[in-house]
Amino acid sequence: MALTFYWYPQCGTCKKAKKWLDENEKSYETVHIVENPPTKEQLKTFIEQSDLPAKKFFNTSGKKYRELGMKDKLQDASEDQMAEWLASDGMLIKRPIVTDGNKVTVGFKEETFEDTWK
């Protein structure tokens, strides 16, 4: 099954992930995460399928995250609220997100890609 690759073309981590997918001959469809961020419902599904806490979907090193004071807001936020914030601005989302409809990875660690997408 083809993968969906949510990325931001200027992101160095995204470029490394794309290179890995290309080198491993994985077919994928790219989605510009800022121009077409996943919906709240898609994000809730990704969170569930990833087995990661919703907080792991935030781009904690991003300017937008700091500007909005997300660190403090996330402490008491529900998963539903977090998904809503993420869907409101693609720059808040840790990237890339890769999914095949069943499994989801967030960010790029070669070892995780090897285990999940090989």
Q: What is the pLDDT of residues 15-55, one digit of tens each?
A: 999 999 999 999 999 999 999 999 999 999 999 999 999 99
Residue whose token pair is 């499994």: 103
Domains of the chain, CATH where assigned: 3-117 (3.40.30.10)
Judge whether residue 68 has pLDDT over 80: yes
Give me the pLDDT at residue 1, please.
67
pLDDT (0 to 100) of residue 84: 98
* Angle in degrees, 0-180, between the axes of helices 40-50 and 79-88, rounded to the nearest 10: 120
pTM score: 0.96
Cβ neighbourhood burial of 1 (10 Å; 0-12, 13-18, 19+) = exposed
